[in-house]
Structure 1
């Protein structure tokens, strides 16, 4: 199945996990109930993470019965969980209500736990080194499906590994599912929702230029990450095909507008591919491209994908490249390898499971 227009099969009633507090208040008002009930429901759904309306025990039985008629609570179903032996990284495969599957990753650190969540089933961008788009785009995820990834992982680990950071860098292009993702971000951030600070939320894009301009007007203080991967159009078009539609000049103009409008820095992600974008000419191009920008350049050694020909440079070549970036005055961080033994790169687990089941 490879139909981007396909929608998730959903009941006609709204999913409580997808509603903002004003929408909950309107739902309650339509039911002729006092407004404070909306706050109680939000606390049950997002605070306690209940799986059923019937678990909302401070609501009367009659109110719970009525709420069943006006709304529902969906659930992701955990079908697979893999824990890395090399790092505090755990990968989850969740089944959606229509049988599609998506991946979520929890990455542990010394002082924080970061969850990486998906926004689409598959991906239409087709980055040449990524597993997410190998089977194309199936559909957008709903707001509740995006939010529920955090709720489900929080339920699994509880206080043992509290979630401090959310990165929207899993399967899919977040800005291609703009409305659902923005609603999910607001719920994840809200004090009545999941209560994760805006600056602890990072949204990633491969470079949908019009949506970056739109994003700058959202007045949300989250972090923006742009999947750059190359500093010249020829190389970037080869590995990130959307560059043919929105070339680097247009992308950088949108990024400058974002920085100017929000006064926030942008993180440029750069997956290091042997013989493709790890040359000294790439260092020079990056220096010229990022001059006068408020940015951070995040170097990511490639996590190999079965069936794809790309490889990560060896450690010596990586070190030489990174040192050259530092020498050129670039602001560089390096994301160290995590989860390779559990295929933690986007889309790998889902692809393997689909291939195994035919």
Structure 2
């Protein structure tokens, strides 16, 4: 919903102290600010009318000066495998996409952190879009709330995991992403465990070090896709400013500070990065610290000419790593038929 009054402030961007002062200045009790915050972040209220333990006059006062800009579900698509992709409409009419990925053991929300993306990875549909803006913490939080609701309504299961692997580069929206994690994990918010959250990055060395300095509790995944600078430069231009050596040093720094195991994501492209020599390079890159490697099927997009590697080469690649002692898992794609799989999010269903 668009704000009707340009002087209205988005209440979800106001801290407790400021809201408390506003209420006191307007003849209200300071403790009501905590009640409002509980409605916003624990109960996920999207209107002041829902705040039923506040008097009508208090709700009217809030509505005169503040607005809530909730994310709404513009439309949804359901895959043959049960995956649900949603186009989320933001208050300024932009769209982002999020995905509920159901399996027998977990319900995972894949959420976006930016409208579009600036990194231009050659295999990713979002990379062919312009970056319009960063999402604010409330907009990231809202995606989780909506997907959590879908999990409960469609599968009668609670949401178990969250991955920041949708549209955008999370570490280029650092402050808002960390604030959203706080809203999702805080007992005053959704109360989820940070160990159930994974933030994925294309690889920005200085921001990985900042994660270490900030002692984050969530999991970190690096979208690697090539352990050779020449190849990685071809598909991920970000590598030109963040070489594999710089990333390796940043990840060592991160692990030393947090003791969090790093996950490497590696999409296998046919005749590009799927030979045993590529597997050896991947092993050499990953052996420096405790880690997991997810080998991911490529999901074709119309903008790129890449194709997925064959099953035989995929098996040889993963077996090579396993024999080297690497904790490796092959991730099968979900939601390909509705463009909801890894690398396919591009608002095509709007």
Alignment TM-score, normalising by the size of structure 2: 0.92
Q: Residue 172 of structure 1 aligns with which residue?
A: 168
SS, match of residue 106 in structure 1: strand
Cα distance change of structure 1 residues 238 and 154 upon mapping to structure 2, 3 Å threshold: same
The one of 274, 280, 287 equivalent to 2:270 is 274
Alpha-carbon offset, residue 103 of structure 1: 0.4
Q: Residue 279 of structure 2 aligns with which residue?
A: 283
Tell me the distance in 1 between the aligned counterparts of 2:237 and 2:70: 34
Contact 2:129 2:346 in 1 (8 A): no
Contact 1:103 1:347 in 2 (8 A): no
Q: Residue 18 of structure 2 aligns with which residue?
A: 26
Tell me the distance in 2 between the aligned counterparts of 1:240 and 1:349: 17
Contact 1:47 1:193 in 2 (8 A): yes
Tell me the distance in 1 between the aligned counterparts of 2:184 and 2:284: 37
Alpha-carbon offset, residue 156 of structure 1: 4.0
SS, match of residue 279 in structure 2: helix
Cα distance change of structure 1 residues 263 and 347 upon mapping to structure 2, 3 Å threshold: closer
Contact 2:7 2:65 in 1 (8 A): no
Contact 1:39 1:192 in 2 (8 A): no
Tell me the distance in 2 between the aligned counterparts of 1:112 and 1:233: 35
Aligned length: 342
Cα distance change of structure 1 residues 220 and 127 upon mapping to structure 2, 3 Å threshold: same
1:52 correspondence with 2:44: no
Tell me the distance in 1 between the aligned counterparts of 2:52 and 2:42: 14
Matches within 5 A, 1:303-342: 303-342=299-338
Tell me the distance in 2 between the aligned counterparts of 1:287 and 1:40: 52
Alpha-carbon offset, residue 337 of structure 1: 1.7
SS, match of residue 81 in structure 1: strand
CA RMSD for the aligned pairs? 2.0
Q: Residue 135 of structure 2 aligns with which residue?
A: 141
Alpha-carbon offset, residue 157 of structure 1: 4.4
Contact 1:171 1:346 in 2 (8 A): no
SS, match of residue 198 in structure 2: strand
Residue segments in structure 2 that go unaligned for 5+ positions in a row: none
Tell me the distance in 2 between the aligned counterparts of 1:198 and 1:92: 24
The one of 35, 41, 44 equivalent to 2:36 is 41
Tell me whether 126-135 or 161-170 shows the greater mean CA deviation.
Answer: 161-170
Q: Residue 82 of structure 1 aligns with which residue?
A: 77
1:231 correspondence with 2:223: no
SS, match of residue 251 in structure 2: helix
1:258 correspondence with 2:250: no
SS, match of residue 216 in structure 1: helix
Deviations 1:253-290 (A, max 9, x none): 00000000111111011111111111111111112112
Alpha-carbon offset, residue 315 of structure 1: 1.5
